Structure 1
């Protein structure tokens, strides 16, 4: 793969979609969480991924509406689900991934949206306006999309590591590999490497994948909480299972860093904006969703986080260097073989987690 130039339009500093709570500091996070129990018509409580918004977006919304958006952060979809399943402590807008939109819909944890109050939904590209994971009546609107692949240091690998083999089934890069902790993603990508679809993975295939990863474990340096891009940038590992947007962010700081979607194909997901049941400010929540789908606002978000945007109007405002960036918008055999993930049900989720937990503990 040809090395990509640093992204010139990006905001300075390192960002991550799923970084742990570092950006604002523990005190600020605690303050945000404590605010969630209060009813305040001038405040909107936003539960999202760390550093997953434009540099001025929340201030811009306050300047326009007078409403202060108070963010707090989760590190995984499971954390989001567990927090809301126990009862909404006061969140008005959340950012679940597509599979968790399905899961939360099924558990009656999301408010149906009044699309008449979100006219900027017209800015969303046609291919993202209807989704199997959120059929009408809609309970979410698309925010970003993303694909898992291999981030790597070009100077430390042999050619382009364009197969899951180098992460899952080889000792060539022993001690220089980091994998994400998400059990379902590990099982499904392992199944993809074994030649099956990552949708509808059966129990036997899941066990075979867990056995393969168990054999590979001595070669793996870290299982990471989606900070693999930082491990790569720091030189702690040379290959990492990560999201395209996170690697694109680090490429502007590390010219030796690159990304590939393995030729077997990968997992495509989306993150969405939704209103949880129990939200206290439904009108303001709809206003906020509509604001985030504005073209100029969407451009500001995209310039900061560097993830692929489903907002066609915002994408049109971005420079060609973004719109044609082969890491942000992958192509080729691996991309063509990739599949959208879907929620496989609570029973299979429990099996995936049990298998990976057992593998890591062995």
Structure 2
């Protein structure tokens, strides 16, 4: 989900090239190896978004605990869910977003956390110690929170006679940036934000509006350069697109490098979708004690600071946030205004049938 600020301007895979996949225990899907299953000593198998970790976090945890971390990567919640739907292939810690925490817990794909083994829960900001999508934090600990918005090339936007592309219409229902648009391929997010553009909540979208959204996005598809999975800021940086549906942290990272003068990010005036990525232990985890220890470590103040410095997402870790500079705390890309946040919502899981319907709608849009 994120490319670290020290790597901006390069490929999202540059972390892997710089440090070497083997050096930091990264694998790319497929079956977990014998070593990853613990053949080389205590191991935590971690299924995470791409480069969504500090550059030394895994090594630091190994030095502190004697337990290695084998990190595999996924690009969307849909991919994460599909991978574990048939059974846990050996993961100990996963990072689903809020809606999928609910979905996976209801499907008995997550196991309850032992809060006594996670004392660093005390570092969390009070508003993140409970969650409507996981009452009592029974199954999840917050890792980051984030908002979706529009990342854009400022010069290209000015060339179109605009100051800021401050409406979802420029992505979903407009020809201004023809073939210079990239949309996220996360089915529920795309549909929910389309509903927000049409004046509805991101939740409880009526059937007639779902039909309207599908027709709208099929009309828009010829104007879309790519439906991306976790590399939208790279498409923007390379010039392949001029505007992109992307997470605020990804664009903040791009702007923190060489792109500070060239790119910007806006939460559209209609409001947006708030997400929270969470740390969970999937059912059948082979190293439950190691999983708790790793989650607790990620919630440590100093460890959290190192992660936040790298990925530049809003952190729910108050102790880590206190260690961050004002340039982070006061960054409007990372922390949108109260006015925009008041118009924004978390997406609620509304059942497997609705989730499958969203996936089917996106499949039809992609095939159109």
TM-score normalised over the length of structure 1? 0.92
Deviation at 1:136, TM superposition (A): 2.9
What is the aligned residue count?
Answer: 352
Please report how far the alpha carbon of residue 11 of structure 1 lies from its aligned counterpart in structure 2 after TM superposition: 4.5
What is the deviation of 1:95?
Answer: 0.8
Provide the rounded CA distance (Å) in 2 between the counterparts of 1:326 and 1:65. Answer: 37
**26 and 207 in structure 1: CA distance in 2 versus 1, 3 angstrom threshold:** farther
Alignment-derived partner of residue 80 in structure 1: 80
Alignment of 1:55-204 (within 5 A): 55-136=55-136, 138-157=138-157, 158-204=162-208
Please name the residue that 2:43 is paired with. Answer: 43
Contact 2:36 2:43 in 1 (8 A): no
**Match for residue 301 of structure 1 among 296, 307, 311:** 307
16, 19, 26: which one aligns with 1:23:
16
SS of aligned partner of 1:23: helix
2:271 pairs, out of 265, 272, 279, with 265
Quickly say closer, same or farther: Cα 1:343–1:326, change in 2 above 3 A: same
Q: What do the CA deviations read for 1:315-345 (whole angstroms, capped 9, x no partner)?
A: 0000000001000111154332111111121
Partner SS for 2:332: coil
Whether the 8 Å CA contact 2:77–2:186 is kept in 1: the answer is: no
Q: 1:209 to 1:64 in 2, by over 3 A?
A: same
Measured on the aligned residues, the alpha-carbon RMSD in Å equals 2.2
Distance apart, 1:138 and its partner CA: 1.0
SS in 1 for 2:7: coil
Q: Which of 244, 253, 256 is the equivalent residue of 2:258? A: 253
Structure 1, unpaired ranges of 5+: 1-9
User: What is the match of residue 12 of structure 1?
Assistant: 6
- Is the 1:111–1:276 Cα contact (8 Å) retained in structure 2? yes
Residue 330 in 1 paired to residue 336 in 2?
Answer: yes
Distance 1:181 1:331 in 2: 26
Q: Which range moved further: 335-344 or 237-246?
A: 335-344
Query: Residue 348 of structure 2 aligns with which residue?
Result: 342
- 1:53-110 per-residue CA deviation (whole Å, 9 max, x = no partner) reads 1111111111111111111111111221122222212111111111111011001111
Please state how far the C-alpha of 1:355 moved relative to its aligned partner: 1.7
Deviation at 1:20, TM superposition (A): 7.2
Asked if 1:358 corresponds to 2:351, the answer is no
- How far apart are 1:200 and its partner, in Å? 1.2
Given that 2:275 and 2:346 are in contact with CA atoms closer than 8 Å, whether structure 1 keeps it comes out as yes
Give TM-score, length-normalised by structure 2.
0.90
- 2:32 is aligned to 33
Superposed CA deviations along residues 21-40 of structure 1, whole A, max 9, x for unmatched, are: 98367885259832444466
Distance 1:225 1:296 in 2: 30
Tell me if the contact between 1:92 and 1:281 (Cα under 8 Å) persists in the aligned partners. yes
* Greater Cα offset, 31-40 or 311-320: 31-40
Offset of 1:224 from its aligned partner?
1.0
The Cα of 1:165 is off from its aligned counterpart by: 1.1
CA distance in 2, matches of 1:55, 1:15: 17
- Greater Cα offset, 303-312 or 342-351: 342-351
Structure 2 residues not aligned, in runs of 5+: none
**Matches of 1:342 and 1:326 in 2, distance apart?**
26
